[in-house]
Chains A and B, each alone.
Chain A
Amino acid sequence: MANYAIITDLNRCTGCLACTVACKAINGVDVGSFWIKTLRIGPNPIEGGSGQYPDVEMYFLPVQCQHCEHPECVKVCPTEASHIREDGTIQIDKSKCIGCQFCVMACPYGVRYLNPEERVVEKCTLCEQRISQGDLPQCVQQCGARARFFGDLDKGVDNFEAPAHPDDPGTQYDEMIKTRVKLKDYVEPYKPTDIHHLKNAGNDPKLMYLLREGRKWRE
Chain B
Amino acid sequence: MSENKDYKWVGTRPIRPDGADKVTGKAAFGADKNLPGMLHGKILRSPFGHANIKSIDTSAAKSAPGVLAVMTSKDLPDLPSEMAEAGESAVDFRDLSQNILAADKVLYHGHAVAAVAATSAKLAQEALKLIKVEYEELPVVLEIEDAMADDAPILHENQFTSGDSTDKPSNVAAKMKLPRGDIEKGFAEADVIIEREFTTPTVHQGYIEPHAVTASMSASGHADVWCCTQGAFVVRAMTAKILGMDVGKVKVTPSEIGGGFGAKTTVYLEPVAVKLSEMSGRPVKMVMDREEILRATGPTSASVIKIKLGATNDGKLVAAEGTLKYGAGAYKGSPMGPGCMCVFASYEIPNFLVRGFDVVLNKPKVAAYRAPGAPMAAFAMESVMNEMAAKLDLDPIDFRLENAVKEGSVAAYGPKFPAIGFVETLKAAKEHPHYSAPLGKNQGRGIGTGFWFNVGMQSSATLNVNENGSVTLITGSADIGGSRASMALFAAEELSISYDLITPLVSNTEETSYCDVTGGSRTTFATGMAVVKAAKNLVANMKKRAANTWGVEVDEVLWQDGQAVPPFSSGKNPMSMAEIAASAAKTGGPLTASASLTAQGAGAGFGVHICDIEVDPETGKTDVIRYTAIQDAGKAIHPSYVEGQYQGGAVQGIGWALNEEYVYNDKGVLQNFGFLDYRMPVANDLPMIDTVIVEVPNPAHPYGVRGVGETPIVPPLAAVAEAVNNAVGVRICDLPISPPRLLAAIDAK
Task: Tell me, yes or no, whether A binds B.
Answer: no
Residues of B within 8 A of A (CB): none
Which residues from chain A sit less than 8 Å from chain B, CB to CB?
none
